[in-house]
Amino acid sequence: MFKLPPKRSVFCTGLLLVMGVFPLNPQTHVSIPLDNSIYYILEQAQMRGLCDPLPGAKPYSQKLIFETVSAILDAGQDKLTSVERGILQKAYQTYKPQAQGLNWQRGAYYFNTQIPKTNIRFSGDLGAGLKTAFSGGLYSDTGDFVWGTDNIIYLYTDGDVGEHLSYGFHFLGGVTRSPRAVLGTYNTYYEGFADDLEEGAINQQITVYSQPLAFFPYSYRKTWDGFVVFPNNISSEGLENWPDEVGLGPMIISELSGELFGDAITYRFGRVRREWAGMAEGRSLAFNAAAQPFVALEATFKPVYWFNFSALTGVLEYFNEKGLKESAWTSQNAFSIEQLELRYKNYFHFDVGTTAIWAKRLELGYIFPVNSNFLYQDNIGDFDNMGFFFNLKLQDPGIGKAWFSFFADEISPKTALEPAFFEQDRNMYAFQAGIKAVFPWLAFASVGVSYTKIEPYCYTHTRIFVPWYNNEYEGKPMPMETAYINNGEGIGYYLPPNSDELLFRFESMPALHTAVHFQYQMVRHGAAYGSKAVDGSSFLSELDPAGRSEKEVLRKFFLQDGAYQWQHIFRIGAEQALAKISLPVRIFGEFGVVYTYYTDIEGPANAGSPLPYSIIDTQEYPTSVGVILSIGFRLFL
């Protein structure tokens, strides 16, 4: 238990008296979604030394967040501004146990009862929420105005069964529109590759789409599961994979979660968005918050503050690109991750872990948490896609933090100390370096910059025949997909392979009901279409299984081996709660400019040597300036 300061003793005594009269609903173990602003507040608190380090496996439970906010209020009275105390007190009221009955500020009805013939309490809530957003972009190269929208209704129930088990079921129904442009086609190997049917090495031409045009690049997240349907064709034959026009789509977020041995072990069996091994919000290279949700069983063991161990295994979902049956045939995959964390107070953090994308089967080695995924594949024949990652963070509480992250998909050890290491496509890895500092002149303010590099073919994998599946569908060979993707989206960092990013972000909560941010982002990415397409630039790229160390075409020279897209993205935004009305309504908006152009080399793409490059502006690779505006509101969220 944390010790209460005198200023809050009267308040909490009154709270205890109320709890004695009206049974409250703790909903202790249900997770809080990753897009909630409380995660930013907790990151700020850790940077300033206001609370103990928190686990690197997210999302966090309501209980953990409530206890952490309480501890910050207790320990940080002389370190918090009046605005910051007000923000934390508001969070305290949000996550504390709620009394029975209708709560208009939460948009939910709370209940608490006892299961007959037991001493077990059954409690929970029934609630609803609404989020609506409209966004549009005007582009100079086409003169077109493109609009999109997300309108999501949330219906949910969360609660507890006794002290050690919580449940959550959230149904999201949405009306959405997110147009994209067709850019061209892309060879999953490279142009001129000769198929090897025995090995399953079959070159595919895939359609390449732009980022959603009505939203800022790399910011749009799917708000539907598997499919959308259009109003003119609501049937099983009308299931589509993307809402280029106004479509209807459902999503289910659900979980069973709890804790054992106090809070030494926390567990969750559910379908939620997660982020592991991120040194700042949204920056993980191994398991990013941008990944689509999937059903998984996970647990974290945290016996002491300086040691955490987490493990997860779940079933990945397919992307409905060719129809339900054919699309799903090769996407029978699972995902496992293990993460070991060591830290010294708020000064030092180190974590290391392994991942595995594996064809679904009763494979106990990946399910068993106390094992190395990276090494275990050698015991069963190397049919899967392994990953290895580590993060190192140094922090001076009250000033800021610096970190370095590394993710390896596949590396040739024999070239590790040779110059050729950095030129061979077979060395597939990503790294990130960043700093983030407290901005002391505004409430909960920070400024940070990071650089991220994703090498060609990182997060990809060649499709392979595996012994557990029939490898033909309707007479066609169908090797198994083992890329680092779920539901068509990346599991790791949100950038595709053969990219880099310079990201600068300032954000603050300058008033009790206000949040603001400014962001500059430069993204460079190898063209995944056209006459100068660079191999290894798509999540669906496949590395030639033969001659990986010898073939000239399998050499990489960032910016100097083909056409590259450059995007300079400026964004400024704010969110404001309407405090003078009785219902909790928050309005938000964002405005910005996207300047896009391409560079090209003087010679053929993928030639095996670096060539000079310069800016171009052609019909195939045009220059464009886009102006984007997004507005919306949330109710009960």
**Alpha helices (runs of H) in 398-476, residue ranges in sequence order:** none
Report domain extents, the chain. Answer: 6-635
The percent of residues in the chain predicted with pLDDT above 90, rounded, is 70
Residue 550 tokens read as 């010898």
pLDDT number for residue 366: 87
What is the Cα–Cα distance from 524 to 452, expressed in whole angstroms?
11
Q: Are 63 and 266 within 8 A, CB to CB?
A: no
* Cα angle value 437/443/444 (rounded, 5°): 45
97-108 confidence digits (pLDDT tens): 888 899 888 889
Kindly state the average pLDDT of the residues 602-613: 93
13 has a pLDDT exceeding 70:
no
530 has a pLDDT exceeding 50:
yes
Q: Quick one: pLDDT band at residue 2, thresholds 50, 70, 90?
A: very low
415 has a pLDDT exceeding 70:
yes
8 has a pLDDT exceeding 70:
no
579 has a pLDDT exceeding 70:
yes
Collapsed DSSP state (helix, strand, coil) of residue 274: coil
9 has a pLDDT exceeding 60:
no
**Which of 76-90, 169-183, 344-358, 588-602 is the least confident region?**
76-90
Kindly state the average pLDDT of the residues 109-127: 91
SS (H, E, C) 196-255: ECCCCECCCEEEEECCCCCCCCCCCCCCCCCCEECCCCCCHHHCECCCCCCEEEEEEEEE
Q: Are 484 and 409 within 8 A, CB to CB?
A: yes
- Tell which phi-psi region holds residue 188, choosing left (phi > 0), alpha (psi between -120 and 50) or beta: alpha
Residue 417 tokens read as 């100390």
What is the Cα–Cα distance from 43 to 274, expressed in whole angstroms?
16
- Kindly report whether the peptide bond that precedes residue 23 is cis, defined as omega within 30 degrees of 0: no
Kindly state the average pLDDT of the residues 497-516: 96
314-360 confidence digits (pLDDT tens): 999 998 877 777 778 888 899 999 999 999 988 999 999 999 999 99
What is the Cα–Cα distance from 113 to 160, expressed in whole angstroms?
11
205-217 confidence digits (pLDDT tens): 999 999 999 999 9
- Kindly report whether the peptide bond that precedes residue 59 is cis, defined as omega within 30 degrees of 0: yes
Give 362-366's long-range contacts (Cβ < 8 A, gap of 24+).
363/334, 366/313, 366/334, 366/336
pLDDT number for residue 199: 74
- Tell which phi-psi region holds residue 130, choosing left (phi > 0), alpha (psi between -120 and 50) or beta: beta
Kindly state the average pLDDT of the residues 394-420: 89
545-573 confidence digits (pLDDT tens): 888 888 999 999 999 999 999 999 999 99
Please state whether the predicted TM-score (pTM) of the whole model is above 0.75: yes
The DSSP bridge pattern shows strands 385-396 and 564-577 to be unpaired
134-159 confidence digits (pLDDT tens): 999 999 999 999 999 999 999 999 99
Angle between helices 62-75 and 38-47 (to 10 degrees): 40
Kindly state the average pLDDT of the residues 454-477: 86
pLDDT number for residue 3: 39
CA distances from 285 to 47, 299, 344, 525 (A): 21, 20, 23, 17
What is the Cα–Cα distance from 456 to 542, expressed in whole angstroms?
10
CATH superfamily to which 6-635 belongs: Capsule assembly protein Wzi (2.40.160.130)
Q: Quick one: pLDDT band at residue 16, thresholds 50, 70, 90?
A: very low
393 has a pLDDT exceeding 90:
yes
Residue 34 tokens read as 């990753």
Q: What is the DSSP string of 319-364?
A: --SS-HHHHHHT--EEEEEEEEEEEETTTEEEEEEEEEEEESS--H
Kindly state the average pLDDT of the residues 289-310: 95
Average pLDDT across the chain, whole number: 90
Half-sphere exposure of 584 (CA within 13 A, CB side): 15
Kindly state the average pLDDT of the residues 92-117: 89
pLDDT number for residue 26: 52
4 has a pLDDT exceeding 70:
no
**Which of 52-66, 223-237, 348-362, 617-631 is the least confident region?**
223-237
**Which of 233-242, 268-277, 281-290 is the least confident region?**
233-242
